[in-house]
Amino acid sequence: MNAGRRDLPQLLGEARRWFDEGLLAALELRRAEQVSTTQLQLFAVLDEEGTTVSELARRMGVTRQTAHQTAHGLIAAGLLEQAPHPESARQKLIRRTAAGRRAHGEATAILDELERVLAARIGPDGVRALREALERPWGLPVVGRPEDGRPKA
């Protein structure tokens, strides 16, 4: 690795923080319900019809306990609710309340504005290229594995 050159995961993390910090600052200016970056992440991976805590944890890359605590903080704030799972009596779905849907719409509008700010700074072609690269399927990481992604025997 080149000395002083930041690696791609570090750059992607910094980009994510730029959006998170911009979103949190805009929400604070609008006097919206204050949330943490972990709560933002949970909101971002939540399906419209609801998602189980286990699936939220997997999507967020956190423990089930962390996802559970994060969801319950948003439930206490009135932004999420628990609902019966249509296929399992033992599981619950976490889904947005009416207030949560409004907050999600507001956050989406703020993120769109942040994307316009980014386009003004790095150019619309840069944003378009970035989006296109990130939307392409990456497949499994193959470092130390054969090309099909399975561990070597």
Asked if the model's pLDDT at residue 1 lies above 60, the reply is no
Alpha carbons 69 and 106: distance in angstroms, whole number: 24
β-pair partners for 83: 93
Which secondary-structure segment (H or E) carries 95? Answer: strand 88-96
pLDDT band at 2 (very low <50, low <70, confident <90, very high): low
Read off the tokens for 110: 């703020």
**Residues 13-25, mean pLDDT to the nearest whole number:** 94
Please give the share of the chain, as a percent, with pLDDT higher than 70.
92
Residue written as token pair 């628990």: 82
Asked if the model's pLDDT at residue 111 lies above 60, the reply is yes
Asked if the model's pLDDT at residue 128 lies above 70, the reply is yes
**Residues 28-52 pLDDT 10s:** 898 877 888 999 999 999 999 999 9
42-48 own/partner pairs: CB under 8 Å, 24+ apart: 42/67, 42/70, 42/71, 42/74, 43/74, 43/79, 43/96, 43/100, 43/103, 43/104, 43/107, 46/80, 46/94, 46/95, 46/96, 47/95, 48/95, 48/96
Looking at residue 149, its pLDDT comes to: 57
Asked if the model's pLDDT at residue 103 lies above 70, the reply is yes
Ordered alpha helix ranges (H), the chain: 8-29, 37-45, 53-60, 64-76, 98-122, 124-135
Higher pLDDT, 28 or 95: 95
Residues found in the chain: 153
